[in-house]
Structure 1
C-alpha cells in the first residue's frame, strides 16, 4: 500500500509537469521573429577565455567569419591562461582575417570576483569605449553559424528584447555524452521553463552563458557585471539582474550555435555538473535534501514501482509505475530527438536522473571539503550573504 500511494503521487507529479510547468519539454522555442533595422546597430563580442587552446581553433574562426551588416568587433580576454590561448587567438585572426580582434588580459581577479566575470568586466570596459549598442557575451568553446550574430540582433530588435540568449547545442558524440547531455538541457528547461522566461510580468529568469546578446543600456541599468561579480552560476544571475531592472529577456534553443568542448568520459561530465550543483541550491542542506527526495520521487519511483509490481504480481502498482515511466519518457523524447538521437534513449532517463542525484550530493560533499565550485585551478567559496540552511531555509533557488 505504501508503494501504491508513493507511485500515485509520482504519477500525479508527472501529470502536473506535463501540463503545468510551462510545457518545458517542448523544443520549439527558437529565436523570436526578426526585424531587420534600417541601420544595423554596432556590436562588440566579448569572449572570456582561460586555457582554451584546445577548442579555440574550432570556435574563434566562426566568430571572425560572422556575416554582419553593421559594425562588429571581438574582444577576447585571456584570463590567466598557461597554454598560449592569447597568442593562438592572434594567430587565428592573422591567418583568417574577418572581424577585428583585440586580445587583452585583466590579470588575476581581486577578492569578491570570479575569474570569468572579472574577464567579462574587462572585456565590457574595452567594448564600451567603442560605444556599442549591443554586447555579445559568448564562451570560448562556442561555435557560431555565419549568420548567428545577425539573427540574434534581428530577433532582439524585432521583439524589443534587452537580452536574447541561446542554449547552445552541446556535443553528443560519445555514449556518456548522449546519456547525460540531453538530460542536462531537459532539467534546466524544467527548472526554468523557456516560455515563462520570455513572458513579461513573470519572475522566472535565466540565460545560457554560452551565448547572450545584451543591450548595453540594459547592462548599465542593471549594474552588470558588478552586481553579479561573485556568481558561480553567472548566466542565471545575469538574467535575473536584467529582468529585475525592468528589461525584457528571452531564452530558447539554438539552431546554429553549438559547443565544441568534448566530454568523452563520465568523469568529465560529472565535474561539469557537480562543480555548480550545490551553488544552484544556494548551498542549503535543506534544499539539497528536498532535491534528492524530489528526484527520487519523480524519476526513480516509476521504474521501481513497475518492477516491484510485476515481481510481486500487484498489477495496480505496476500499472501506475509503468504509466509514470511512460509519461516521463514521452516528455524527454523531444529533447532526445532535438539532439538527433534514437527514441530508445528516452526511457533511460531514470538512470540518468540517478547520476544527477549522485552528482548533486557529491557537489555538496566537495563544498564542505573546501573544493566546491572548482574550475580550471580556481575554487570559489560561497558568496557573502548566500543562503544557507540555517540562515535562510526558505530562499528560492
Structure 2
C-alpha cells in the first residue's frame, strides 16, 4: 500500500510539473522594450488610480515608485490616490508625498473617500476606484488608459512605459500582470508559493490570452485598461458587489469581445500582499471561494490537490520512517525511499518553475508539507466564511452584506 501511494504521489507531482512548465513557458513577459516605445507615433495619456485603506506602511513607497515610473514615461500622466476612509495615517502620509513634489513632477491628486451609498452594495476597493474615476473624468477627459495599482505594489521606473507600449502596439483592452511576490515572514513562505503555483496550474494562461476562449483571469494589483473598454463594461460600478472584482472585470472584458492579455511582470512589478498570518488568513479566505465563483467542487478539489502535491510525500516519508523503526526493513522499502526522494525533488522543481513567473525562489521548499495543510485549511475556511458570512471580512470590514441571506 505504501508503495502504491508513493508511486501515485510521484506521478501526480511529475504531471503537475509538466503542466506548470508548459503554462509558465506560454506566459508572455512584460519587459522594458525601447524599440516598442520608440515605434509609437504618440505616447497616449494615462491616469493611475491607487485605492488605499489603512495603508500607512505602504502608501509613501508606493506613490514614490509610481511617480518615478510616471517621470520615465514620455506621455502625460496623472495619479489619483483615494483614501477609502482609513483610520490610520494613510492620508497624512500621502499629503506629505504630495507636498514634496515640484512643478515638473506628474500631478498627484488626493481624493478623500466618501461614505458608501446606503442603498447599494459596495465591497472591497470598488467604491474607492469608482470615486477616483468620477474625479478623474471630471478633471481629465483625454486619458486613453486607466492603470489601477494596489498600494502594496512597487513599480520599477520602466513599468508604466512598458505596459503602455505593449497595450498600444497589440491593441489590448485589459493588460494585467503577475508581479513578483515578495515574502517576509514564515506564514508567507508557507502559503504564497503554493497558492500561486496552484493558480498557474489551474488557470491555463494560454486560454486566458486566447481571444476565442472564454477563460478569463486577472491580477488586481496591476490592471491597465483602455478607457473605452473600461467604460464599455461599466467599470467598477458594474462589479460593485463582487469581492474578487479583478477576475470579474476580466470575465466582462472577454464577454464583451474585447482583448485580454495576462503577462509575467516580475521584472518590473512587485507586491507584498500580506505581512502576517492574520492578514494572510483574512485575505485568502476572502478570495479563494469567491474567486472560484463559489464552486464548491472546484474549491474542495483545490484543497485535495495541495494536500496531494505538498503534504502527501512528507506523510509517506514519515510513515516509512515509523515502519523502519517499528518493523523490519524489507526489500521494497529501498525502492519506496528512492521514489520519495524523486517526489521531493519534484516539489523543488515545482517551486523553481513557478518562481519564473512569480519571482519567488525555492527557499523553504521543505516547508511544503505544512504549507499544504495551511492552504487546504484556508480553502475550507473560505467556503465556510463565504457561505455563512461568519468572519468574512477584509481589513475588518464585513462582507456578508453581499448576500441578502448568508445561509441561503
Distance of 1:225 and 1:344 partners within structure 2:
37
Aligned to 1:348: 367
Judged with a 3 Å threshold, the aligned counterparts in structure 2 of structure 1 residues 53 and 300 are, in CA distance, closer, same or farther, namely closer
CA RMSD of aligned residues (A): 3.1
The one-character-per-residue Cα deviations of 1:69-110 (angstroms, maximum 9, x if unpaired) are 111101111211222423432321121342112222342223
Is 1:329 paired with 2:348?
yes
Structure 2 vs 1, CA of residues 311 and 344 (structure 1 numbering), >3 Å: closer, same or farther?
A: farther
1:214 equivalent to 2:225? Answer yes
Q: Is residue 166 from structure 1 mapped to residue 165 from structure 2 by the alignment?
A: no
Matched, 1:57 2:60: yes
Query: What are the Cα deviations for residues 43-92 of structure 1, in whole angstroms up to 9, with x where unaligned?
Result: 11111111212211111112223222111101111211222423432321
TM-score, normalised to structure 2, is 0.83
1:80 lines up with 2:80 in the alignment: no
What is the CA deviation profile of residues 289-309 of structure 1, one whole-angstrom value per residue up to 9, with x for unaligned ones? 333333323333233334434
Question: Residue deviations 1:117-155, cap 9 Å, x none?
Answer: 011112122233423110000112212122211111011
Structure 2 residue matching 1:362: 3-state secondary structure: helix
Aligned length: 387
Q: Deviations over 1:195-231 (max 9, x none)?
A: 4322332333211111111111111222222332211
Q: 1:103 to 1:290 in 2, by over 3 A?
A: same
Structure-1 separation of matches of 2:272 and 2:373: 26
**What is the distance in 2 between the residues matched to 1:101 and 1:31?**
26
Distance 2:405 2:177 in 1: 28
The answer to whether structure 1 residue 253 and structure 2 residue 252 are counterparts is: no
Of the candidates 104, 107, 124, which is equivalent to residue 100 of structure 1?
A: 107
Checking the alignment, whether the CA contact within 8 Å between 2:241 and 2:402 is kept in structure 1 is yes
Q: CA deviation at 1:41?
A: 0.5
Superposed, 1:179-328 pairs within 5 Å as: 179-251=190-262, 252-259=264-271, 263=275, 265-309=276-320, 312=323, 313=330, 314-315=332-333, 316-328=335-347
Residue 261 of structure 1 and its aligned partner are, at CA, apart by 5.8
Q: Secondary structure at the match of 1:208?
A: coil
Paired residues of 2:59 and 2:152 also in contact (CA < 8 A):
yes
Q: Which residue of 2 aligns with 1:24?
A: 23
The structural deviation recorded for 1:260 is: 5.3
**SS of match in other structure, 1:30:** coil
- Assess if the C-alpha contact under 8 Å between 1:59 and 1:260 holds in 2: no
Q: Aligned pair in 2 of structure 1 residues 272, 227: CA closer, same or farther (>3 Å)?
A: same
Question: 1:395 maps to which residue?
Answer: none
Q: How does 1:1-12 map to 2 (within 5 A)?
A: 1=1, 3-12=2-11
Tell me, in whole angstroms, the C-alpha distance in 1 between the residues paired with 2:297 and 2:63. Answer: 42
**Superposed, which structure 2 residues align to 1:30-49 within 5 Å?**
30-31=29-30, 35-36=36-37, 37-49=40-52
CA 1:152/1:378 → structure 2, altered by over 3 Å: closer, same or farther? same
Distance 1:201 1:328, change over 3 A: farther
Report the 3-state secondary structure (helix = DSSP H, G, I; strand = E; otherwise coil) of the residue aligned with 1:23: helix
Conserved in 2, the CA contact under 8 Å of 1:276 and 1:373?
Answer: no
Separation (CA, whole Å) in 1 of partners of 2:315 and 2:24:
23
Unaligned runs of 5+ in 1: 391-397
Q: 1:73 to 1:331 in 2, by over 3 A?
A: same
- TM normalised by structure 1 equals 0.85
